[in-house]
Structure 1
Amino acid sequence: MNALVFAALLVPAGLPGAATAQPGSGQSLPVLAQYTAPPQRAPPAPPPPTPSVAPPAAPTQAPNAQAPGTPTPNAPPPNARQAPASRSARQPAAQNPDDVPEVPPPFQANVSDPLLTPAPPAPQQLQSWNEALTLLRQRSTDLQAALGQIEVAAGTWRIALANLLPSVGGELSAQYNILNPNIPAVGGGVGGGVGGGVSGAEGFTPTQLLGIGVLTANVPVVDLANLYALGSAKESRRTASLSLAETRRQLTRGLAQALVSVSSNERLAEVNRVNLRTALERLALAQRRYELGAGTRLDVVRVEQDAQSARRNVVTGDENLRQAREALGLALGTPSPVGIKPGLDLNTFLEGANAACRTLESLENRPDIAAARSRQVVAERAIGEVKRQYAPTLDITSTTTGLTVNPGFAQVPIWNVGASLVLPFWDGGAREGLLRQARGQLEQARADVTNRERNIAVEVTQAKRAVQVTRATRELADRERKLAEENDRLTRRSFEVGTGTSLELVQSAGALRQAELELVLRDFQFRQALVDAFLSEAACDW
């Protein structure tokens, strides 16, 4: 028996690695041809054990015949071919231990929800800082009130000046004597001087319907109280001007903060919708697993609760955006909401705010501190003004009287010129009361200056430190968001392939949503801190 006959005997026994073709023919072995690699996620099953085959009895052979099992000169021994085939069947292809097993592609869900529609734009949208500043000048009630206060101070100064300038006044009256029409109706001291000797000497008599004209003039010569009040009124005008500068600074700060708030809430509304879309995709994934029998109803309920939470954030975020736009509208003096034109960077608005204001060299020159000190000066001068009311006043007066006469039209029989010295001996204690009021107002003004200086010093320090703190917290929030995003991606992927739980999926989704909101909030605080830090040491002269 030759090698071909021996191989034919091995095939029915199922010996792995047995060849069915002649050695060297180049054809594949049946066992290797039918071998398919197992899935990479599960280890391959071990091959069945090789059965033991008893060798047949050696028959009588001719001298030239070969013994059974003796290989032919050109063929290798059967055992030499069987060993490599058996090892190939037992051991799969070598793999890199660092390779990640392949998983099915991510689940793509097509979700839709009415809340995914972007928030509607505001009816009015700003395009530049100059546009916002123009609206602020035209419609701001605080600015109008500050300008009105300047007019009040200017009027007070003009009144104080008028008390030191000459005054001229006139009076016209008509009189008729009902009891005796033949006697002219001249009242007061005028009748004594006119009805008698005047008519006889001058040859005229007053008319029965007597017309009287009186012209008076008064020229203050010495009035220390009003002279000092003029200086106080001038300082009050300066106080009003400084208050206007402080109002402009506060309006600029409020406008910048309102712009930052609108920008942040718009960003927050977008993030809420992205989170809602992600939550709906998770819900669709959980429902798909439940339909395929790989998940439970509890998984669907958990993810659906997370989706409802995302919907609530969208609703509240849109309301916050509407309120922020309304606040910006009120800052600009309009009751309608105002937004920012899409595509505009907030930094362009903040750069406009920096251009509209200037940095102060000293904190003492800040408008509110300067205004408080100016009010203290006015209170100090009020005390001196009250004290000068104890001093006498000297005025020069002149009176001219004209009468209607018959015959003729009118005569001027009287022209008096005199001086009056007023000596304020006692007024019932009114000046003492005014003095006490002025002293009390001075103490209030001093306390206001001291308190304001302390608060502003702390405010500036905190504003500068807030920039560093908010920058650091924003960077940390950004890192936390990236970690939460990676955690959510991996958790979601684990849930897709069946190794993760719905609880882990919901927890990672909530952590990502919270990290997104925290990042927007920290960015809002950082931008607001930049505005506060700059305007805490600035003055706006627009």
Structure 2
Amino acid sequence: MQEQLLDVRRGFERDAQNRLEVGDVERLALLRATLDRKEAEQEVVRSRNAYANAKSALAALLARPVDFDVALPKESAVAIPVEVRDVSAAETTALERRPDAASARLDIDLARGGRKQILFEYLPDLYATANYTATNVAGLTGQATMWTAGLSLSWTLLDGGLREANLREANGRIAEARANLRGAEEKIRDEVRRAVTDLGTAEANLGTAEERVKLSWESARLAKESFEAGASTYLQVTDVNATLANAQLSLVAESLNVQLSRLALARAMGLFDPTGNSLVEP
């Protein structure tokens, strides 16, 4: 984008030079055009250096040489299905897919399992034993083999209230796990609602930015034609082109905001797989 703006500035500098030679404009217009062209060249150099620094930082994080090119992400990789744009459907999907919600539900099952284990302590313990022996010499009974079998029943009737205390603690753990699940679900719902709202805002801003770019291009074209016809000053053309540059930068920023908002919604719904940079099929 900075290179495109530089080309525009160079074109206006040539026009100003030609018009100065025929006496159509003052030298001030050429000086202003030259300054704008130099500023645009400086912005191009600054942008290239910033890009190189960003690649170097990324290479350092990846522990690899700076021998790669950065590709623009595919927008389809973060597309959100239309049917899940509804807040209610998005919340339902999030509650089913989010790992923190699944973990909270698992905590309840674990707490219930611990309570059942304590309840089993109220039941008696039944033990069965069996023994079989064989000798090479017969005993007094005249038999060389002998076997025994028995049953043992143990039942703890009084334990000083230990089981009751453990049972109350287990019930408290179940209540705590349920409260954590409700808290996690409310947090998930809030994240989904805010993500859906932010996505709608970002998409609306993107549409506005696209319209601004179209209008700015038309204004820049008309201003250039008017300048070439001598009906407008270079300062007016400069203002129009500055507005066009700002509109283009705003369009890029809003496009990134839309993609980030889609990622945020996908993450909030549990559909985004960060390891594969893609959406998980619902």
Query: 2:46 aligned to 304, 312, 319, which one?
Result: 312
Give the corresponding residue for 1:286: 13
Give the corresponding residue for 1:276: 3
Give the corresponding residue for 1:367: 97
Q: How does 1:425-440 map to 2 (within 5 A)?
A: 435=167, 438-440=170-172
Higher helix share: 2
Give the corresponding residue for 2:254: 522
**Could you say what secondary structure the match of 2:112 adopts?**
helix
User: Which residue identity lines up with residue 366 of structure 1 in the other structure?
Assistant: E
Alpha-carbon distance, 1:520 to partner = 2.9
Q: Is 1:471 paired with 2:200?
A: no
Q: Which runs of 5+ in 1 are unaligned?
A: 1-271, 330-335, 406-411
C-alpha contact 1:484 1:508 (8 A) present in aligned 2: yes
Alpha-carbon distance, 1:420 to partner = 3.6
Task: Give the superposed CA RMSD.
Answer: 5.3
Judged with a 3 Å threshold, the aligned counterparts in structure 2 of structure 1 residues 350 and 416 are, in CA distance, closer, same or farther, namely: same
Judged with a 3 Å threshold, the aligned counterparts in structure 2 of structure 1 residues 387 and 523 are, in CA distance, closer, same or farther, namely: same
User: Which residue identity lines up with residue 446 of structure 1 in the other structure?
Assistant: R
**Could you say what secondary structure the match of 1:397 adopts?**
strand
Alpha-carbon distance, 1:449 to partner = 1.8
Q: Which runs of 5+ in 2 are unaligned?
A: 22-26, 63-67, 138-143, 272-279
Q: Is 1:484 paired with 2:216?
A: yes
**Larger RCO (alpha carbons 8 Å, 6+ apart):** 2
C-alpha contact 1:387 1:435 (8 A) present in aligned 2: yes
Q: How does 1:157-172 map to 2 (within 5 A)?
A: none
- Within 2, Cα distance between the matches of 1:497 and 1:483? 21
The C-alpha deviation readout for 1:375-431, integer Å capped at 9, x for no partner, is: 3243234223224334432122335678999xxxxxx97755333434457889986
User: Which residue identity lines up with residue 480 of structure 1 in the other structure?
Assistant: R
Q: How does 1:41-60 map to 2 (within 5 A)?
A: none
Judged with a 3 Å threshold, the aligned counterparts in structure 2 of structure 1 residues 401 and 338 are, in CA distance, closer, same or farther, namely: farther
**Could you say what secondary structure the match of 2:149 adopts?**
strand
| Alignment: residue pair count | 248
C-alpha contact 2:75 2:259 (8 A) present in aligned 1: no
TM-score by length of 1: 0.35
C-alpha contact 1:326 1:338 (8 A) present in aligned 2: no
C-alpha contact 1:325 1:338 (8 A) present in aligned 2: no
Query: 1:451 aligned to 183, 188, 194, which one?
Result: 183
Q: How does 1:33-44 map to 2 (within 5 A)?
A: none
Judged with a 3 Å threshold, the aligned counterparts in structure 2 of structure 1 residues 438 and 473 are, in CA distance, closer, same or farther, namely: same
C-alpha contact 1:464 1:533 (8 A) present in aligned 2: yes
Give the corresponding residue for 2:24: none
C-alpha contact 1:477 1:518 (8 A) present in aligned 2: yes
TM-score by length of 2: 0.58
Structure whose CA Rg is larger: 1
